[in-house]
Structure 1
């Protein structure tokens, strides 16, 4: 948050301070002062608003780009015989020209995991992501930390973080999880396993969370049961995330978060990334804005972010058909009273905070414990 606070709280430049000094006319004796105007004061000058005009969306996103919490681009590219991300690719929703046009500064690229070969398919997806990024060094940069994402932004690149992968990617093996982390995986979704079910976390599931804390992996609760979410919040020392969840109170999609979870997420410093998905939020851009407002109201402005869910097969709201639509969403939020500081947290600052906090937690955890050798209960 330090870089964000420095930008938002920067002192006035020397020229700005100088411009506020009295002019020679203002310093002149009162008997030489110009007479005060007479007559009625124009109505439009009475109680004139002092609130500064909103920053144009492209200018705001140039300083605080979108850190997008979920993109399925690798799996789509894997199915195409040929593609050109640099010049534009009609078969995807997140090519390079549209990523730049929409003000995207970072994306989480989610590996697709085949149920019949979870580890092999995850390794193949990580290999594909690494190769895609390496082929576009002027536009993309692989990131493994908050410092990497900030450095990519400073050099005009889009940071690519690998994840979230479903928990099945590690095949119930903490050794496999450590290997995937070493290859670049940075987020894991805790649902759909025997140790993170409707009944909550098993003892092995709790050990998975502790090992993720030790490694610095983001814990994703998207689709997790209420019992699992509650136990993860109790066990995890790092902030937890919802990488693609809207508000269940506004849309009853099964992966949307209930109000109780959103409130608890805010209390624990977590982050809900609201998706641009017609199924999860609604068919119009304003529906996405409604969910963002709802999450901010319950969890706080430091616990809400954006998740495009592009190239996942989801239909998208009108006005947000691809990643180039983010400026329109910023305009909608500005009309609802969002300040530049709040928008800067929404787009970039909150994701950076969670990444940094997760890394700090990992450094501390490594001093307390070594790699876990736990295995699932029979």
Structure 2
């Protein structure tokens, strides 16, 4: 069976003008060699978990939010290569969970003074880079979609820096450019005066345009509905909601209502459903319900996964750490998800967003400067 993710199809709610928001569809992920003795996925297999493991060998999970840098900062010593009981994310569990890419959130501690946001972001960015350098057999820093794919093909987990808080910019696009040069790929718009309940100010709009030019993805989780709507209309590259589920199923403020999910799907964005009990519910089945809903409203090309491990969030039963992803994928297969849709969910949609942002950034930088 051909498991290359298909070209994203617009949802039933997709607007006819959706195409300008995306670059030409990138090549699908190249398949990785299967473990010795493994065979191609067979939809007639009776064991969904076995099918999940085989599918994830080709299309691993791109986890949209990990709080690992913030947690490691408090530990006097750790070894992620052998395993670390003080955290929910280490190399052995990432491999058991078939995680191929990990987005490390660079969020400052709660209650931090606004004038410390940039310093805290730089400290976490520096720590994340140091952690990757100290674990070369399991982790590899990735700045581009190509580097994410290379890391996966070399048997490493690609570590992507972001999302970071927009408060770190302190009203300066020069800071954004410096953070991008250090490897930042995702910036959340929540928690700033220029991205408030009233929407984006003129500076906020210029920030989104500069993020597009630099290849920094917009993260809309936690932003107001007005900010989300304006960013979706303005951004020329796909946006992410790195930790948002369906508000129709659970009325959490970070979850998205159906109208915004439909707009996100029309714009080619990705809603990354968090494995957080507060946002999705206490069971693995609850998480699957949210994935079903987002897929139905935004389309299969606009749904992803976000572990939110090591962020302080409580997790549903069966998803206590990064090793639980195969069980979630098995649940989706058991519910009748086609394997190409699961491949988009775990890997293809996030890879498309990164590659489209890279493509658009190169084109924009050829046209104009900062």
Question: What TM-score bracket applies, with the shorter chain setting the length?
Answer: 0.7 to 0.9
Change (3 A) 1:293 1:219: same
Structure (1 or 2) with the larger CA radius of gyration: 1
C-alpha displacement of 1:244:
0.3
Alignment pair present for 1:360 and 2:359: yes
Alignment pair present for 1:101 and 2:101: no
Alignment pair present for 1:77 and 2:49: no
Q: 1:295 — aligned with what?
A: 294
Structure 1 CA distance for aligned equivalents of residues 107 and 352 of structure 2: 27
Structure 2 CA distance for aligned equivalents of residues 322 and 128 of structure 1: 21
Q: 2:154 — aligned with what?
A: 155
Write the mapping of 1:225-236 to structure 2, written as runs, cut at 5 A.
Answer: 225-236=224-235
C-alpha displacement of 1:131:
0.5
Q: 2:60 — aligned with what?
A: 65
Q: Secondary structure of the residue that 1:163 maps to in structure 2?
A: strand
Q: 1:138 — aligned with what?
A: 137
Write the mapping of 1:1-378 to structure 2, written as runs, cut at 5 A.
Answer: 3-4=27-28, 52-53=44-45, 56-113=51-108, 114-115=112-113, 116-371=115-370
Change (3 A) 1:51 1:104: closer
For residues 315-339 of structure 1, give each alpha carbon's deviation from its aligned partner in whole angstroms, at most 9, with x where no partner exists: 0000000000001001100111012
Q: Unaligned 5+ residue runs, structure 1?
A: 9-15, 17-49, 372-378
For residues 280-301 of structure 1, give each alpha carbon's deviation from its aligned partner in whole angstroms, at most 9, with x where no partner exists: 1000000000000000000100
Q: 1:25 — aligned with what?
A: none
Q: Over aligned residues, Cα RMSD in angstroms?
A: 1.7
Structure 1 CA distance for aligned equivalents of residues 275 and 30 of structure 2: 30
Structure 1 CA distance for aligned equivalents of residues 27 and 137 of structure 2: 24
C-alpha displacement of 1:61:
1.0
Structure 2 CA distance for aligned equivalents of residues 327 and 146 of structure 1: 23
Change (3 A) 1:231 1:139: same
Q: Unaligned 5+ residue runs, structure 2?
A: 1-24, 33-39
TM-score (norm 2): 0.87
For residues 58-103 of structure 1, give each alpha carbon's deviation from its aligned partner in whole angstroms, at most 9, with x where no partner exists: 2211111000000000010000111121121111000111010000
Q: 1:22 — aligned with what?
A: none
C-alpha displacement of 1:4:
2.9
Worse-matched range after superposition: 70-79 or 108-117: 108-117
Q: Secondary structure of the residue that 2:279 maps to in structure 1?
A: coil
Structure 1 CA distance for aligned equivalents of residues 92 and 158 of structure 2: 15
Q: 2:22 — aligned with what?
A: none
C-alpha displacement of 1:141:
0.4
Moved over 6 A (4+): none
Structure 1 CA distance for aligned equivalents of residues 84 and 239 of structure 2: 34
C-alpha displacement of 1:52:
3.0
